[in-house]
Amino acid sequence: MTSEDEALSVRLLSLTISGGLDVNTIRLFKQAGMPPPILDWDVTRESLPDQRLTLFWDVWMALPRQGDLPRADDLDLHALNAVHDWIVQVELIQAEADCRYRLHGAGVARLYGRDMTGHRSSDFGGQVARFFTAGYLAVAKRRRPLFTEHRPPPRVPVDRWWRIILPLVDREGRVSQFLVGVVPSAVRGDAGLPGPLRAGQR
């Protein structure tokens, strides 16, 4: 598949994700032997399953609005120091149907086994790359938060990843970045993580 074909495939998947979980997304994960993800476009503060994600929500909601969404320039990551290991900051590359990871939190990187800071979502490879990128494009299109839950590959010692994607706009009001909170629902074994990284789970 050429890069142009891959970009088209991701854009088409983003359109179906915009409407919720559909047969295309289910098929994508089924082909990889994985259960389908959960998508929630009606996410609220109360529906978030982890207190750490609630902090992401609160910081995003407190930001001044430019129209319907906060500006990326107004985000101060110091407000998220309590959950710094779980911060993922993503920059949209709309023309290429791809995204760049400006920051890949240390806790997420340790569990995943690689720091993706500076890399693209397409670098994850496989169904995860398409799912991640299409999800970000869908959030940019709908201009609203999205909660997702998915099971990672067996090598990652995480039962499921919980993720809240919060859109941010540039000075022209276009969605250009995403503040993302990513936390594990449960960690298998010690995985080399200090205790505080597991705090706040419900």
pTM: 0.86
Which residues span the domain enclosing 68? 3-198
- Average pLDDT (44-72) is 97
- Domains in the chain: how many in total? 1
For the cut 50, the answer to whether the pLDDT of residue 200 exceeds it is: no
For every residue of the chain, which 3-state class applies, written as one string? CCHHHHHHHHHHHHHHHHCCCCHHHHHHHHHCCCCCCEEECCCCCCCCCEHHHHHHHHHHHHCCEECCEEEHHHCCHHHHHHHHHHEEEEEEEHHHCEEEEEEECHHHHHHHCCCCCCCEHHHHCHHHHHHHHHHHHHHHHHCCCEEEEECCCCCCCECCEEEEEEEEECCCCCEEEEEEEEEECCECCCCCCCHHHHCCEC
In the predicted model, is pLDDT for residue 153 greater than 50?
Answer: yes
- What confidence category does residue 126 fall into, taking pLDDT thresholds of 50, 70 and 90? confident
166: CATH: 3.30.450.20
Say if residue 141's pLDDT is above 80. yes
Q: What is the pLDDT of residue 25?
A: 74
Q: What is the pLDDT of residue 8?
A: 52
Does position 127 have pLDDT exceeding 70, yes or no? yes
